[in-house]
Structure formats: structure tokens, C-alpha cells
Amino acid sequence: METGTGESDRKIGPGDPLPASRPSPSSNSLSKLITDPNKAFGGSERLTALSRQLRMYKPPSTIDESEIEEQRIEESAGKVVSQVGFVESATPIAQQSERFRPKRAAVLICLFEGDGCDLRVVLTKRSSRLSTHSGEVALPGGKAEEGDADDADTATREAKEEIGLDPSLVNVVTVLEPFLSKHLLRVVPVVGILSNIKAFNPAPNTDEVEAVFDAPLEMFIKDENRREEEREWMGEKYLIHHFDYKTGSKKYVIWGLTAGILIRVASVVYQKPPAFVEQNPKFKTPRLAHNDTTMG
């Protein structure tokens, strides 16, 4: 699956901000979005088994600093683009939530079975006409809106708006622990299974998306076609991982938050850690959080 679009002359205006706070989805609300465990996925035993496995996933109660992800959130037009950030449960905010009110966003990790029976994930390339992070690879997703019931609703709504993916085709099976950006934006990875890939005809929103493509999920825990970049933040060195991927004549680089979330998802799906050292930064907690507060 791969499709590109022509460029649009229209410009994207700033996205609407999130409400100051928004409650996490209740177990009852989430259970309505999780597919019936007995429901088959187009006859694929592997996808059925995977859906059952992921429904049983429980985020770790505590995460060691060595497991903190690297990301950055770009909030222009309400979209999520990456460089540096943290798994929220690894930050002091998880224990001091009354002092912080992070804004919320969600991304969709849409998995399907490829022709070679490998698990693949749907990705996008941002429009080259965008003023920031143009041409970078991202997961479908964005900020929550007032009418969204929960994170799964946000992620599937955004996927429909960005790439024309009908929410009815996606079986949401789990929601992973949120990622917290340096700028206190909470990003929730929503994992869904697309059992009938042939029913999905990508229709990219040309204002935002230049191409829709897919990549093998397992590549994000392999030490192949991977580069790392050492950076320093507040005296602490850390690594940013870049995955090079080629499909046909097109070449893509998947890095930052997008790569970090996919490393996490692949580790959960394949039930093993990545074959490389992540080396994440340390951070300090602000006494009070304001609109311009950052972790660091």
C-alpha cells in the first residue's frame, strides 16, 4: 500500500487548543471501543491471536529511566511531530498529577497483515508545503477535540481526516501508556487492527499529507537500517534513533516520537526489547506548570 498526492495551494491555520483538562477514558468507555474477543479478523488466526494478546496488555506500574522514550511534539495545526519527550509514567507528573494539567493528543498505530504475512503499520509523510517539519514521517493523529469520547475516538477521527481511513474498518484493541512531551502535551498511542487492508483506499488530505505508506513493524526492534544521533540536554547525553526505510523508489526516514512509539509497540507485540540501546535523557520537574512550562 502506497499512495501520494498532489500539492495544495491552501494553507493550514493553527489548530484549536485542547480543553485545559480532560479526564482519561473510563474502563466502561474504553471497553465499548475494544472489539469483542470472540470476533474474528477476516479469517486471520494471527490477527485474532494478536488482538487477544494486546487486549491483555497492562502498562507497567513503574518504568525505569532507561525506558524513557525520546520525542518532541509539534503543536502547529494540532498535529503530532516528534523529537524529544518522555513516557508519562516515568515522569514526576505521574505521581504529582494535581500540579499539572497536560493537554492531550492521540495517534493511531494501525496494524495489518502484509502479503508476506508480516505485521505492517500505516504511516504518513507530511506535506512538503507545510512550514514546519515538512516531509517528515508521522503516525495519523492529533489533538483531542471537544466532541471526542476518548483517545481512541481522537485517533480514529484524525486518521479519517488525514488519510480517509474509515473508523469502522479499524478494531481498536488496546491503548498504551501515554507519552509526555517536553512541553507537557500528553500523547496516547492507540493500537488498532485493520483486518481487511483491501477495503482501505487511502485518500490523503493534501493540506497535511503528501503520501501514505506502510512499513514492517518488526524493523523497529531490529538493529538494521538504523542510525543514531547523540545529543545533549541539560548536561545529559542521549540518543535519537533514525530508521531508514525504502519501498519501491521512495525512501523514508522514521525518527523521534514516531520511531519511539513504534519501538514501544513492536516491543509489546513481539514481547521482547529492541536489539539496541536506547539511552534516554534525564530531566527535572518544574515547581509549577504554566502554558510555557517545559520539562528540563
Q: What is the pLDDT of residues 47-79, one digit of tens each?
A: 999 999 999 998 775 444 334 333 343 444 456
CA distance readout (Å), 42 to 117, 147, 225: 14, 31, 32
Whose cell is 518522555? That residue is 86
Instruction: Map out the domains of the chain with their CATH numbers.
Output: 45-55+101-270 (3.90.79.10)
Amino acid 206: pLDDT: 93
Q: How far apart are CA 264 and CA 220, in angstroms?
A: 9
Q: In this model, does residue 17 exceed pLDDT 90?
A: no
pLDDT of 117 > 80? The answer is: yes
132-149 mean pLDDT: 90
> How many whole angstroms separate alpha carbon 34 and alpha carbon 25?
12
CA angle 33, 78, 68 (to 5 degrees): 70
- Report the 10 Å Cβ neighbour count for 173: 25
SS (H, E, C) 9-41: CCCCCCCCCCCCCCCCCCHHHHHHHECCCCCCC
- Position 24 scores a pLDDT of 39
Q: Taking a C-beta distance cutoff of 8 angstroms, is the pair 44, 171 a contact? A: no
Report the mean per-residue pLDDT for the chain. 75
Confidence of residue 180 (pLDDT cuts 50, 70, 90): low
According to DSSP, the β-strands at 103-113 and 185-194 are: parallel
Return the closest-CA partner of residue 69 out of 89, 91, 80, 85. 85
Confidence of residue 186 (pLDDT cuts 50, 70, 90): confident
**23 vs 43, residue with greater confidence:** 43
Secondary structure of residue 220 in the 3-state scheme: helix
- pLDDT computed for residue 88 by the predictor: 53
- Residue 28 — pLDDT band, cuts 50, 70, 90? very low
Highest mean pLDDT among 15-29, 78-92, 99-113, 210-224: 210-224
Phi, psi of 270 (to 5 degrees): -90, -5
Question: How far from the centroid of its chain's Cα atoms is residue 44's Cα?
Answer: 25
